[in-house]
Amino acid sequence: MNRKRIARVMRERDIRGVTRRKRHSLTRPDKKAKPAPDLIGRDFHAERPGIKLVGDITCLPTAEGWLYLACWLDLATREVVGYAMADHHRAELVVDALDMADGRGNLEPGCVIHSDRGSEYTSTQFRDRIRQLGLRSSCGRTGSCFDNAAAESFWALLKEEIGNRI
């Protein structure tokens, strides 16, 4: 059988192929804020825990609506040292996750906190909190998922494990 016959039979029986939903990016750069320099430079290895963290936000569909999850991964152990969940993706979400990472992750002074250039990570609230904790902020380039590949890889694995629940 050729593809035209398959298409005709599918049309007659109202059969449609499964298509993936369109992907939406959460990264919205803050036009006013100057982003931090890239201190990691795609080197996603750390000699010891508490010196390099990478973070990102993702959205997960639930029966009640979208859930936003922010996390911080330690590059030495690949463990999630801080996370926060909410029904929004404002700056306080990543600040709450960073506070958990600070409490649980034994972060050294001057620890590099790497993220993308989303408005949550370039916000005054987030930068003030990094300064208060004595940490250093780092951002990848705009539109380059490879600059935050460790966090993106974690989200891909998480979403593959939980599957599509809706």
Choice among 22-36, 39-53, 63-77, 84-98 with the minimum mean pLDDT: 22-36
Is 48's pLDDT higher than 70? Answer: yes
The CATH number of the structural domain formed by 28-162 is 3.30.420.10
Q: How far is CA 18 from the centre of its chain?
A: 27
User: What is the tens place of the pLDDT at every residue in 106-143?
Assistant: 888 888 888 887 778 888 888 888 989 888 888 776 66
Q: Are 94 and 69 in contact (CB under 8 A)?
A: no
Show me where the domains of the chain are located. Answer: 28-162
Is 26's pLDDT higher than 90? Answer: no
Q: Who wins on pLDDT, 82 or 1?
A: 82
Burial of 53 by CB count in 10 Å (0-12 exposed, 13-18 middle, 19+ buried)?
buried
Residue entry with tokens 């059988």: 1
For residues 92 and 98, give the distance between their C-alpha atoms in angstroms, rounded to a whole number.
10
Tokens at 142, concatenated:
């705009």
Average pLDDT, the chain: 80
Q: Who wins on pLDDT, 138 or 21?
A: 138
Number of Cβ within 10 Å of residue 97's Cβ equals: 25
